[in-house]
Amino acid sequence: MIDFVKVFFTRKHEIDKYIKSKGHKCTYLGGREVYKLQLYNLELVSTATSAYMHGSLHSFCNAIKGDGLRAMNWNDFSYDELLSCLDILQNELDYDLTYTKLTVVEFGFNIELNMNATDFIDKHVFMYKYKSPCYNPKNRTDMKMQKYEYEDYTIKVYDKAKHFKLSRSLLRYEVLNKTDELGKSGVVALNDLRRATSIDALYKSCMIKYENLMVIDSYNGYRGMPKAKRDLLTKYTHPQFWESLKEGEPYDKRKHKLVFNKIVEDYKLHSAKDYLRELIYKKYNILITKFR
């Protein structure tokens, strides 16, 4: 669930003391000293005006369990493990994590599929909010990813097995929440992640965004669908069509959305989306259950 974070320490002097007591590295930025310290995969940074930390809490948890600097994050990371991780971090830093301000929290799931994750993305995942991905490399043999960036959050859907060269199929769906989006879920300080209500809020926010992904079944060769309907779907699954509606009346876009959704519903082309949603739901309940 929780992975990458960026967090600022509001009691800068306490973190400065910790960093300088360890084997820190001093660099210069704009003629001013910047102190950096690596804590497994997490990096602590102190500048003239602020102190912050960034990195994957998931990888940090794996690292402190024995994987060292090569720690990965393709396994599961339960809420029990997150709580233990925060306890260890607080004790190591000798710092009350209440006095922090989160600016980034990544929330997502590693999902095992019954088909290749790259194939699932290619065949079923088309757009988010009827817009094409801002990042979708076509010729990378080591990566398959769709990324959608907005001011307050970023969504990624990618083949994690390909990224880590795993033998099994593993799809990653994640939302990187920034400050304003975190505030909507009541998540401000690192300690807020200890509350089950905060995790529930992040999960609900994550799944609301999931519903805005265009994930539909393959329809080419569907003999029960008239050619006119297949042609409409071909048009509706291309972002250029929706882009072309920007200059028209808002009603036009609403009308086409209704037609698209009716075709998906009439011909039951939502099984792929239902399938992935159910897997995410089950994974969430497994990862949160022990805490409850």
Report d(CA 187, CA 145) in Å as an integer.
Answer: 27
Q: Given pLDDT bands bounded at 50, 70 and 90, which one contains residue 259?
A: very high
Q: What is the pTM of this model?
A: 0.93
Per-residue model confidence as pLDDT tens digits over 112-145: 999 999 999 999 999 999 999 999 888 788 889 9
Q: In the chain, what are the domain boundaries?
A: 2-216+270-289, 227-266
Q: For residue 147, with 0-12 CB atoms within 10 Å meaning exposed, 13-18 middle and 19 or more buried, which class applies?
A: middle
Chain mean pLDDT for the chain: 92
Average pLDDT for 215-222: 84
Q: What is the pLDDT of residue 69?
A: 45
Decide: 83 and 72 in contact? Cβ < 8 Å.
no
- Residue 287: pLDDT over 60: yes
Q: Given pLDDT bands bounded at 50, 70 and 90, which one contains residue 187?
A: very high
Kindly report which listed range (23-32, 180-189, 260-269) carries the lowest average pLDDT score.
Answer: 23-32
The secondary structure of the chain in percent helix, strand, coil, rounded to multiples of 5, reads: 45, 25, 30
- Position with higher pLDDT, 33 vs 83: 83
Average pLDDT for 181-205: 97
- Residue 71: pLDDT over 70: no
Q: What is the pLDDT of residue 214?
A: 98
65 DSSP 8-state letter: I
Average pLDDT for 84-90: 96
CA proximity to 146, closest of 179, 171, 169: 171
Kindly report which listed range (64-68, 75-79, 97-101, 233-237) carries the lowest average pLDDT score.
Answer: 64-68
Average pLDDT for 17-29: 81
How far does Cα 105 stand from its chain's mean position? 8
Q: What is the pLDDT of residue 70?
A: 57
H helical segments located in the chain: 12-21, 57-62, 79-93, 117-124, 160-164, 179-184, 196-211, 227-236, 239-244, 250-266, 271-289
Q: For residue 204, with 0-12 CB atoms within 10 Å meaning exposed, 13-18 middle and 19 or more buried, which class applies?
A: exposed
